[in-house]
Structure 1
């Protein structure tokens, strides 16, 4: 039976990327060696790393003013690495709290400087993106989380501010065009929309670096990683390779504009059914804040919950259960999820409504 992978991460990858990666595991570039065993200093991997960086620059239209880094430690490491590199103890960073990961980022930032939480939807269980707040001019940077995988909300607008924006884009990187010039730093764990678990993309404006007066361990300095082409230590070779293949796939599909159109089509298909189906309710209170990457929803009662869960499994749908902290269901629809997979999910929802509605 064909599987439809709605896992929130590690998540679906394009079939062609998996096939090419499998060939690379056996024999990379006809070298007679596996990508898993070649040196990160070899000509084969240096070429892969250079191509990965160039694809980031091509897809996002990045200038040389930005460094592109492939690091380890996941996006959670960036919760503290960003303020460590950008914020002095006597300076203030502005944060907006829109979910689990934003809340954790706020906690880590407080270790390095002052934090001003401009707005939060925590008291309302993160069911919307707060609006109407302003960024103080004294803020060193503004931190936001563009998409919230647990609660199913997403920014569909960007703050209007002269302050550099630091953004956790782990779950919607490369899903749509973005105005890069607004951002001072973007970070994204690969395993949701860029590649497999194991590497984290960091894009940082170079003029923001070297401005803090604290001592920072070498492995945690963006500048050192930049000057060493992300090879200050042995990088995560295989995850970078697969991320490169995935970004090439995105480019071949037509780039970020094509991804945006593809993702909007999937979102429309799913949300139209959710709004029409009497047996399910969305968890996001403001429709304009709904995520195109991680729609979240609930069955109206336990009977429907169990029936839908069983029917989804029978249809080959995998990874549809919501985050353990909130329950319900979550249909993660990253770039590689085809419209046909969403149609299978919608058909199951309709069938349940016909039988039980």
Structure 2
């Protein structure tokens, strides 16, 4: 079962600057290739992009690297994390405040390590009993921690194979060390459906709330911090099959079935918010509709043949443009936004070069 879930995860894996004028699309995208030869593809998995800087940790968590996405300069700072803390994710809040996560604890690292505070997220989970689906949060919903700056809290997703209607998000406050469940639910199309962890949500946060998608559905859901209301909008990006069969807890986890399901289903891979242009980006793929030839790796076959789409939406979730991306090139799992636009990395499995490379996509104005 672990190998099957790992196989599926491969398909969903990946602010404070003044805002520029809202995007005015001209019907085309500007694409500029860019490489980062100073970056090791395997050293940037624990990372976070803030403004025009990529922050990432080495595999031991002992060194924080700061990489400028503009001039590609690289500097490093030694970290001395308390105790046996081995981070798996991070969020760079400010020059004097970094948040780390190790799967069970949060660590707030301040004053260059002189002030460190740990939070055990499991200790207060009883506060959520009966309100959310799962006993523990499902952590792989983003490539870095989903931090809510206005509330000084971290957002977690809770879901399990349960047909009852329960809440799916809760936030953990760094100020009060308490949990708060949010009035957010599975989209209405999944009422009474016992969704399993293969749902794969992607979350994008902005000032007034957050927006999320499921990998199996074209519906985009938003939640307002001010009104505590949820809104759902179905957004099509391509013709043909729009939704994938919901995955539930099955008697048999057959790998051949899931390989076929991935290849023949649409997939909504990534949702990002661009604070510079005040737009959302959704990257999705239409159903491939065919199986991999005998003997060919299913994942590589999908990367080479899938058709990706970039859908651009304003803050009201109105479509500004929908664009097909170059086939057989990208891995959107670690895409991010910075001042120059949306950067989508190349799939390393398809590249002969070892350097981190990809394209910066900007909107016509």
> Scaled by the length of structure 1, what TM-score is found?
0.28
> Scaled by the length of structure 2, what TM-score is found?
0.28
More strand by share: 2
More helix by share: 1
Greater RCO between the two (CA within 8 Å, min separation 6)? 1
